[in-house]
Copies of this chain bind each other. A is one copy, B any other.
Amino acid sequence: MKLGFIGTGVMGAAMASHLLAAGHEVVVYNRTKQRATGLIEQGAKWRETPAAVAADSDVVFSIVGYPKDVREVYFGTAGIFAGIHEGAVVVDMTTSSPALAQEIATQATAQKVAALDAPVSGGDVGAKNATLTIMVGGDDAAYQRVLPLFELMGTHVNRFGTAGMGQHTKMANQIMIAGTMTGMVEMMVYAKSAGLPVDQVLTTLNGGGAANWSMANYAPRIMAGDYNPGFYAKHFLKDLRIALEEADKMQIELPATQLAHDLYAKMVDEKQLGNLGTQALIKLYAGWV
């Protein structure tokens, strides 16, 4: 099976390398060619456009930045749909909008191509160690066909329904994390302002009903003054925007998620801190700095 991979940033490069390591032929494209160098050295073949990747592939994976990038990669004049052939499968692993995933699926059907949306969680570490969680939406037959490839990249792979349901699951994940992140930073601001020994408070809270992954992983980074991105704040803001747009379409109100969005918007758009990690939200709070 000939594979294509579009988007070879930190996540994509690690993921594609597992496909190569398993012995697959992989053709690649990235907006910045330089970032594909490692993969090319590992045996991947470079193509000049997404269309050219698609023309040479039975399964095309993409993982890029924002929904507008996904749109360009799929629907652009030199996009995937300009090169793909009947019977192929396209798999967008970007965290992107469920509505766009459905658009892609509709166009795919028109070209007798199968489409899956398959966003991931687990970050750069998960991508490197092939321990990603992969949340898939789309046709089941296509899912079964791609599953052995997903399993080269992740340890928790599940299909949640038709086109868009992978993205919806990822949105649910981000809504949950919006709660743990806002709660965590406000807890730390309170603890510090009260004069508590924050390290000791964290140890105690990690052992009880307040325990959560964000606190276990990000609170120690904040304590160490480490605001480097495990996950970019600007990307988290993008995800929360998508989640709220979808909630709006479903006519549901999510006030806590809206507030988290507003805080991250302030951090990213107003304070220009979007290239820091999500834990740097704490920099908004007068009680911390």
Decide: A208 and B285 in contact? CB cutoff 8 A. no
- B contact residues around A285 at 8 Å (CB): 252-253
Residues of B within 8 A of A257 (CB): 183, 186, 190
Q: How far is the CA of A251 from the CA of B189 in the complex (A)?
A: 11
The CA of A171 and the CA of B246, in the complex, are separated in Å by 34
Q: Is there an interface contact between A208 and B200, defined as CB atoms closer than 8 Å?
A: no
| Per-residue contact bits, chain A 116-130, to B (CB 8 Å; 1 contact, 0 not) | 000001110000000
Q: What are 18 sample pairs from A and B whose C-beta atoms fall under 8 A apart?
A: A156-B204, A158-B200, A160-B201, A161-B195, A168-B191, A173-B187, A177-B183, A177-B209, A178-B186, A179-B179, A183-B183, A186-B256, A186-B257, A190-B243, A190-B250, A190-B257, A255-B263, A259-B259
A interface residues, tally (CB under 8 Å): 69
- The answer to whether B176 and A194 touch across the interface, beta carbons within 8 angstroms, is no
Q: Does A287 contact B (CB under 8 A)?
A: yes
Of the 9-residue stretches A25-33, A37-45, A53-61, A211-219, which lies at the interface with chain B? A211-219
The B-contacting residues of A in range 180-208, CB under 8 angstroms, are 180-184, 186-191, 193-197, 200-201, 204-205, 207-208
Q: A248-284 vs B: 1/0 string, CB under 8 Å?
A: 0011111111011001000000000000000000000
In contact, A213 and B209 (Cβ under 8 angstroms) = yes
Q: Report the copy number of this chain in the oligomer.
A: 2
Instruction: Tell me if A147 counts as interface (CB < 8 A to partner B).
Output: no
Complex interface bits, A136-170 against B, C-beta within 8 A gives 1, otherwise 0: 00000000000000000000101011000100110
CB of B172 within 8 A of CB of A178, answer no
Closest to A210 in B: B176
Min Cβ gap A98→B in Å is 7
Contact A169 B196 (CB under 8 A): yes
Which partner residue on chain B sits nearest A218 by CB separation?
B209
Query: Quick check: A213 and B210 within 8 Å, CB to CB?
Result: yes
Q: Which residues of B contact A260 (CB under 8 A)?
A: 256
Contacts known (A183-B256, A263-B256); A175 close to B190, Cβ less than 8 A: yes
* Pairs A-B, 8 closest by C-beta atoms: A179-B183, A212-B212, A252-B287, A182-B256, A176-B210, A168-B194, A176-B187, A193-B250
